[in-house]
Structure 1
Amino acid sequence: MVAQLTQCIRLNLDCADICTAAGHIASRRTGSNEPIIQSVLRACEEACRLCAEECDRHASMHEHCRICAESCRRCEQACQAALQTFH
């Protein structure tokens, strides 16, 4: 069973790291670094999408995967909304 969750766990950890970095960088929003903020938000959006998709594969067997998938989708949507503020 653990072997089946290896990719899921890796995506969870990668996603958490990217989300943390995106939060730190986006909270320092200034006009001079908007391209960097946009890039990190796009990376966070993608990481959350991939993580949610992977967790969905295990959600019927593991409650924590269902919760993780829901959280990742909310974060993905938040990144999309934040990106819209740049247009």
Structure 2
Amino acid sequence: MLNQQYTECIRACLECMEACNACYNACLKEEDVAMMSYCIRLDRECADICSFAAKAMQSNSPFAEQICKLCAEICEACGKECEKHEQDHCKRCAESCFRCADVCRKMVS
């Protein structure tokens, strides 16, 4: 049975992963892709760690808390980068990243 303390965190990680993937895809379609390159990179990093964190929690990994701590750090960095941009997809991604970082930090505290 899945550890109940992980339920909200898994949901936040999966939502953030989806937001980062959507932002990544939308950034690639922007007129000035070079300007979005760091945002694109962090979107990929964040989506990957969120996916990994969700999987770690779902499998009740003994490293889930450490992974979620790292996930919070990466989500925070991605959110800070995304909020620098005016595009709606970046704003939505930043909100999701900050929420995920907050939920991950609460879960490990």
Q: TM-score range by the shorter chain?
A: 0.7 to 0.9
2:25 corresponds in structure 1 to: none
1:67 corresponds in structure 2 to: 92
CA RMSD, Structure 1 to Structure 2 (Å): 1.1
Superposed displacement of residue 28, structure 1: 2.1
Percent sequence identity is 37
Matched, 1:22 2:53: yes
Between the aligned partners of 1:77 and 1:28, the Cα distance in structure 2 is 22
Between the aligned partners of 2:106 and 2:97, the Cα distance in structure 1 is 14
- The one-letter amino acid paired with 2:40 is I
Superposed displacement of residue 66, structure 1: 0.2
The structure whose RCO (Cα within 8 Å, separation 6+) is larger is 2
- The one-letter amino acid paired with 2:107 is A
Between the aligned partners of 1:45 and 1:26, the Cα distance in structure 2 is 14
How does 1:1-87 map onto structure 2 within 5 Å? 1-29=32-60, 33=62, 36-58=63-85, 61-84=86-109
- The one-letter amino acid paired with 2:72 is E
Where does the alignment leave 5 or more consecutive residues of structure 2 unmatched?
A: 1-31
Where does the alignment leave 5 or more consecutive residues of structure 1 unmatched?
A: none
Q: Under a length normalisation based on structure 1, what TM-score does the superposition of the two structures give?
A: 0.84
* Matched residue count: 78
Q: Under a length normalisation based on structure 2, what TM-score does the superposition of the two structures give?
A: 0.68
Q: Could you report, residue by residue, the CA deviation over 1:22-67 in whole angstroms, capped at 9, with x for unpaired residues?
A: 001012226xx1xx11210111001100000000110xx2000000
After the TM superposition, which parts of structure 1 deviate over 6 Å for at least 4 consecutive aligned residues?
Answer: none
